[in-house]
A and B are shown apart, each in its own frame.
Chain A
Amino acid sequence: MEDYKFLFKVVLVGNAGVGKTCLVRRFTQGLFPPGQGATIGVDFMIKTVEVENEKVKLQIWDTAGQERFRSITQSYYRSAHALILVYDISCQPTFDCLPDWLREIEEYASNKVLRILVGNKIDREDREIPTHVGEDFAQRHGMYFLETSAKEAENVERLFMEIAAELMEQARSKELPRYETNTTSINGKTTSIGDTSNCGCSRLS
């Protein structure tokens, strides 16, 4: 058995180039990746963190470049516990696209999914979206809000740690989106949380 108590699936969306992959790699590996090519073959990243002395495993999914032509598969959103919507504070169009992303999220993600709006690249001098504008947007759409810099490692740790803490809180109070726990995962792994022992169906590989 792997050594963790909770497993959460976190997915990132947002326009190409806003720094989704950089956020993930900064958090999981502590480095700022220089280019996009490195994401080839990488599906999702995993990091186990500790919240209140409990081991929490975060499975963080990136878009695999499918956002480039707005062609993300619906299945990407399935079973996500948290969803990070990212824009670039120095690039107005990435902010203007947020309503489109929200529409897609409404359509395919669970309506109980934890939503976080992230304005990335605060290291940039040429800011176009003031903090309060992002904050307003997040508030109007029932999302958490944070500004980050993947490059300077600012607020990145905090972003994921707060997500982990919040999801754990929700899991304890059973408010988490409940994905069917007795589904069969044919390779013997499952993305669902909680115990699957009483499901009456086998998980073999």
Chain B
Amino acid sequence: MEDYLPNEYDVVVVGTGMTESIVAAAASRIGKKVLHLDSDEYYGGLWATFNFDGLQKWIEDLKVSKSSAKDVSEVDLELEEKFLKTSNEYSTVENIEETWYISNDADLPVVSSKDTQTDSTGDGSGSGDEKSDDDKVEKKENVKQWSIDRIRKEYRKFNIDLAPKLLFARGELVELLISSNIARYAEFRAVSRVATFMDGKLTQVPCSRADVFANKTVSVVEKRMLMQLLTSCMEQGADSPEFDGFRDKTFLEYLNTKNLTPIVQHYVVQAIAMATEKTSCRDGVNRTKHFLNSLGRYGNTPFLWPMYGSGELPQCFCRLCAVFGGVYCLKRQLDGVVIHKNKCKAIISGKQRISLEHLVLGQGHLPPEVVASEGEQRISRGIFITDKSIMQGEKENLTLLYYPPEQPDQEPVTLIELGPSTNACPQGLFMVHMTCKRTTNAKEDLAYVVNKFLKAEPLDPLAIRSSIHSHTQTVSPDKRHIQEGDQDNREESTEESPKPQVLWSLYLNLPASDIKLNESTPSNLHLCSGPDLELDFDFAVNQAKSIFESMYPDKDFLPRAPDPEEIVLEGEEAPGPKFEGDTEAEEKQDVEKAEKED
């Protein structure tokens, strides 16, 4: 059965990703009538965060292709109207590969288990059909208390991001959250350290002035050098004459003229600017500036992480949209759009025709007719549940690591490691997210970094369980393939502390975020991209701003929403029971009144 929705709106938004949600909130905030739909039963689309169970469902659902939209013949059209079917092909997730590196409770010795009662939580894939003998159990040692069953049982304690992103403390999103007063819906944790790989080991990058001066690996001369360089990036910016000779050169070429020592250069390039050999001088300076600008606002580093995951943030904007009257309906499919004389006039959803002034579409809901190019910035992701931190410290850390390519054909990888205090995982575990630009597939693209920092081999060869689903041709679903693959990658370890053991991993490829629309696309149809490759949300915020500006050029973008204390409710002056009379009529008045308010 389908819910019946009112069928006239100023703005219809389809998809609850980051950009869509910001636009929805902004339109609702200035009093526009907004309908916000999503075909999924959860918020966020490719920006979503799931608990372990929810993620399993999401993976399952990808295997079942969604029911395709209806045909033109089924739609009642008026004269000169055109119906364009929407497609989900621009949000296709590929090369999903989920692997367990541990065994089921049934395989474990009874003594090891704290939670002896086994529960009946749905055991989706790979039932425990293999047996293990005592020898193998011995080898399990430190991970023996973590079994597949236990992870499944504690599913609620996981918050797993499809597209994990950080916020720069003075980035676009933080400023927007504060200025719009949406910040009250979310909580954040400061990233506690920025790490870098130097001289064969991971070290913490000194971020603050105090850190720099307390650092023992950098000499006094180097400290002065570093401060000087940073100051010039910070104060003068990329347009300063300082960088005149480097307009078409790389950041590295500029740094080379500064006679920096290797350590200082390493910090600046790899940790602060997060640059590669190819990064232009301009970008490098801007990135350095952005990093430094955000220092000292909230924690030790310039970054914040949203509690419960990145998927919370689109929801904060949705909440604001709803508070200002936006109508929300999940599990509601968009079938197509009705075009009349190069203007988008309505959408068809189920049996309903819903008319609109502006249509804002997430990239998973585009009619192929309006797409000019599918984009190239595709994303490889790896998600790992591990048993310890990549860089163990005295307290729990939230770590960001930028790892530059080792070979010319590799892409730089961003690694974010989350601990239990972010609600990403239960006590005793860590969640590692890796992201890079796609070249082949997620597993291959990330392999060099996985092998560097993690131990991604089954604890017990019999325990390995792998399920490979994909929408396109991909790695053969052969167990041996995976094991061999792992063994190929020689151990170069002999470092102090052993690498974290991976208990579970998931690889996937997300679609490109730089889809382009045709010139002939109706001007009231606005595209919202999926997650991009950048570390932060600024791309989405800026895209939302420009969409809003093109819709309502003279209006304020998300002005501050009042605090509850500031709202004087009508009737407050004359308290007392006031419900006599025709409630229905009053109800109507109230709605009208509220609509006029803005």
Contacts and interface: CB of A to CB of B under 8 A. Distances in A.
Contacts of A191: 184, 187
Interface in A69-88: 69-71, 73-76, 78-79
A40 B156 CA distance: 33
A201 B579 contact: no
Nearest to A180: B421
Interface of A is mostly: loop
Nearest to A72: B328
Given A180-B421, A184-B190, A40 B571 contact: no
Interface in A108-162: 111, 151, 153
A112 to B, nearest CB: 12
Contact of B297 (A33, A153, A204): A204
A32 interface: yes
A189 interface: yes
Contacts of A30: 575-576
Contacts of A75: 185-186, 308, 312, 315-316, 319
Given A40-B323, A70-B330, A203-B298, 9 more contacts: A41-B562, A42-B569, A46-B565, A69-B3, A75-B186, A107-B156, A186-B183, A187-B183, A201-B298
Contact of B323 (A29, A41, A189, A204): A41
Nearest to B49: A74
Nearest to B592: A37
Contacts of A33: 571
A37 B593 contact: yes
Pick from A44, A68, A73 the residue with the most CB of B within 10 Å: A73
Contacts of A74: 42-43, 308, 312, 315
B146 interface: no
A64 B322 contact: yes
A166 B198 CA distance: 54
Interface residues of B, number: 67
Nearest to A110: B156
A187 B181 contact: yes
Interface stretch (B372-380, B524-532, B582-590): B582-590
A52 interface: no
A73 B315 contact: yes
Nearest to B48: A74
B189 interface: yes
A1 interface: no
Contact of B318 (A73, A180, A203): A73
A42 B190 contact: no
B578 A34 contact: yes
A31 B578 contact: yes
B43 A184 contact: no
Interface in B126-155: none
A40 B308 contact: no
Contacts of A195: none
Contacts of B491: none
A187 B184 contact: yes
A38 B569 contact: yes
Contact of A186 (B298, B331, B567, B590): B298
B90 to A, nearest CB: 24
Given A35-B589, A180-B421, A183-B188, A202 B322 contact: no
B325 interface: yes
B178 A38 contact: no
Interface in A162-205: 180, 182-187, 189-192, 201-205
A39 to B, nearest CB: 8
Given A41-B562, A73-B43, A74-B315, A65 B587 contact: no
B51 interface: yes
Nearest to A45: B564
28 contacts: A41-B562, A41-B597, A42-B323, A42-B564, A43-B184, A43-B564, A65-B322, A65-B325, A66-B318, A69-B5, A71-B330, A73-B315, A75-B185, A75-B308, A76-B315, A76-B319, A107-B51, A180-B423, A185-B187, A186-B177, A187-B177, A189-B184, A192-B187, A201-B190, A201-B299, A202-B298, A203-B298, A205-B178
Contacts of B316: 73, 75
Contacts of B273: none
A59 to B, nearest CB: 8
A92 interface: no
A42 B308 contact: no
Contact of B183 (A70, A78, A185, A201): A185
B323 A37 contact: no
Contacts of B304: 184, 186
A103 to B, nearest CB: 12
A153 B576 CA distance: 11
B174 interface: yes
Nearest to A60: B564
B307 A66 contact: no
A159 to B, nearest CB: 18
Contact of B575 (A29, A45, A187, A201): A29
Contact of A29 (B178, B299, B308, B572): B572
Given A35-B591, A204-B298, A184 B188 contact: yes
Contacts of B178: 186-187, 205
A95 B183 CA distance: 35
B468 interface: no
Nearest to A192: B187
Contacts of A65: 322, 325, 327-328
Contacts of B308: 74-75, 78
Given A38-B569, A43-B564, A69-B330, A180 B575 contact: no
A65 B187 CA distance: 23
Contacts of B42: 74
B174 A186 contact: yes
B189 A184 contact: yes
A70 B567 CA distance: 27
B568 to A, nearest CB: 11
B497 to A, nearest CB: 25
Given A34-B587, A42-B567, A183 B322 contact: no
A34 B585 CA distance: 9
B332 interface: yes
B28 to A, nearest CB: 9
